[in-house]
Amino acid sequence: METRSFLTLEDVGREDIREILDLARAFAEGRVRDALEGKTVCLAFFEASTRTAVSFELAASRSGAHVISLSEKGSAIAKGESLIDTVVTLDRLGADAIVLRHQASGAAALASRHTSAPVINAGDGCGQHPTQALLDLYALCEALGGLEGLQGRRAAIVGDVLHSRVARSVIPAFLQAGMEVALVAPRTLLPPDGGAFDLPVLSSVDEALEWSADVLYMLRLQKERMTGARIPSVAEYARFYSVSRRHLESGALVMHPGPVNRGVEISGDVVLDASSLIPDQVASGVCVRSAVLALSTGAAQSIAA
């Protein structure tokens, strides 16, 4: 059975995305069950996580996999074992897939070079968070009528692009889906000149709506970045880069990978508004991650067969 690691969205094409989203829908609708029966999925989280860890655990267990969770606490990770030694150990113990969350960019790729089991990147530093971007696409497709419904839509990615692994996965995902993407952030939170993305840079949520954004994708501002070096104050940040109720009149959809800083990226009364896809994003995580696990482990081939 052919296996493949799932590390980044940078090189994933439109048809690959369609395949994953279709399979995810099959999982969601119950057309596929127990696809991972007999598989062992190891969750190796070197960095704290709530929703991603729970989501992967449910995605694996509901599909019939045996799940082993390693967290920072109570495992060799806490004892200072190296990344490579940990994943090699899991590999030799017979894992069929290793889901890795790590604080350093490139960790998943490094791990994958030392294992025979596929490695699924559950977030590496400021690098990539590919399953997040896929669940975002899934939720958007549900809202806008499938992948075709995304064609030509405009998404504004708002906030700390510079330090965001979510942005680095969401941007290529949205572009593959045929969307137009703009970045909305002060230049202290952007790669130089928008970086390799070569996207328009806008200076406020208001400007994003003038640009006719259909989607406002809000990034989390880390607490330690809220005052001082890159952002003068939460007040100024919120004034220009926060979504509030008045922005919803445009009909734009609001997304956020969570966890939300209410009153910073999004005013509190918007988080659970009808315009907000945030709960749908979370809900989409399980079926999308089941699909990714099935494709990575090769289990999807037997479904097709």
Nearer to other proteins, 152 or 228 (CB): 228
Does residue 301 belong to the site contacting other proteins (CB under 8 A)?
no
Number of residues that bind other proteins (CB under 8 A): 17
Does residue 82 belong to the site contacting other proteins (CB under 8 A)?
no
Smallest gap from residue 200 Cβ to other proteins (A): 14
Nearer to other proteins, 41 or 182 (CB): 182
C-beta atoms surrounding 113 within 10 Å: 10
Q: Are 277 and 138 in contact (CB under 8 A)?
A: no
Smallest gap from residue 254 Cβ to other proteins (A): 22
Q: How far apart are CA 153 and CA 214, in angstroms?
A: 6
Does residue 198 belong to the site contacting other proteins (CB under 8 A)?
no
> Could you give the C-alpha distances from 117 to 41, 90, 96, 296, 302, in angstroms and in order?
10, 9, 5, 9, 18
| Options 123, 130, 159, 186; binder of other proteins; rule CB under 8 A | 186
Nearer to other proteins, 1 or 229 (CB): 229
Reading the block at residue 128, the tokens are 């990539």
Q: Which stretch binds other proteins (CB under 8 A): 29-37, 88-96, 184-192, 273-281?
A: 184-192
Q: Which residues sit opposite 243 in a β-bridge?
A: 266
Nearer to other proteins, 232 or 268 (CB): 232
Site residues for other proteins, window 228-247 (CB under 8 A)? 228-233, 235-236, 239-240
Reading the block at residue 41, the tokens are 């999925």
Residue type, 100: L
Q: Which stretch binds other proteins (CB under 8 A): 41-49, 181-189, 251-259, 290-298?
A: 181-189
Q: Which stretch binds other proteins (CB under 8 A): 35-43, 64-72, 125-133, 183-191?
A: 183-191
Nearer to other proteins, 233 or 302 (CB): 233
Q: Are 10 and 133 in contact (CB under 8 A)?
A: no
Reading the block at residue 156, the tokens are 């504004």
What does the DSSP assignment read for 50-80?
SHHHHHHHHHHHHTT-EEEEE-STTSTTTTT
Does residue 211 belong to the site contacting other proteins (CB under 8 A)?
no
Q: How far apart are CA 202 and CA 154, in angstroms?
A: 13
Sheet holding 154-158, edge to edge: 201-202, 180-184, 154-158, 215-218, 253-255
Does residue 116 belong to the site contacting other proteins (CB under 8 A)?
no
Does residue 37 belong to the site contacting other proteins (CB under 8 A)?
no
Q: Residues interacting with other proteins, by CB under 8 A?
A: 186-188, 192-193, 203, 227-233, 235-236, 239-240
